Amino acid sequence: MKIFTIFAIGLWLGVLGFFSFAAAPALFATLDRESAGRVVTVILPRYYAFGMVMGGLALGSVVGRAVLAQRREVEWGSLVLTLLMLALTGYSMLVLLPQAEAARMAMRSVPAQAGMVSEAASAFGRAHRLSVALNLLTMLAGLTLVLIEGVRTRLSRRP
């Protein structure tokens, strides 16, 4: 069942990395800011939902291994990191995404004034910065989890 944990987290990390370091920057480099923002707004709910599904599969695998193990040992590191990844993604999806969208809509409704940053723009910036930080923390937790699983596998194969 360990392969399901590594598969789910690995696939999740691949999507996190591709969207964060390839897709989103390419959209903003190619399209005007408004159009790129609309595309990202359509992608993000699916992006977070995918993470929740992969996190759920990984969590099921970690818990399933504990239930099926003859020693009944829980792999606490893997469990905590998986739960952390799910919590960060859930918060981003359920709290930050709606905040950023509300701020984005508010920015559209208020005409920009030269030299002034609107409250909506500030709110959007805060939500975006926190979202990026949580995304990076999710990636770091995922990389750590894959490393833990790999080391544990290697150690269990020693004679």
Q: How far apart are CA 4 and CA 1, in angstroms?
A: 5
Q: CA angle at residue 54 from 42 to 78, to 5 degrees?
A: 135
Per-residue pLDDT of 54-102, as tens digits, reads 999 999 999 998 888 765 667 889 999 999 999 999 999 999 999 999 9
DSSP state of 1: -
Instruction: Report the predicted TM-score, pTM, of the whole model to 2 decimal places.
Output: 0.88
Q: How far apart are CA 9 and CA 115, in angstroms?
A: 44
Say yes or no to pLDDT of 142 above 90.
yes
Per-residue pLDDT of 120-130, as tens digits, reads 889 999 999 99
Q: For 81, how many CA atoms within 13 A lie in the half-sphere containing its CB? A: 23
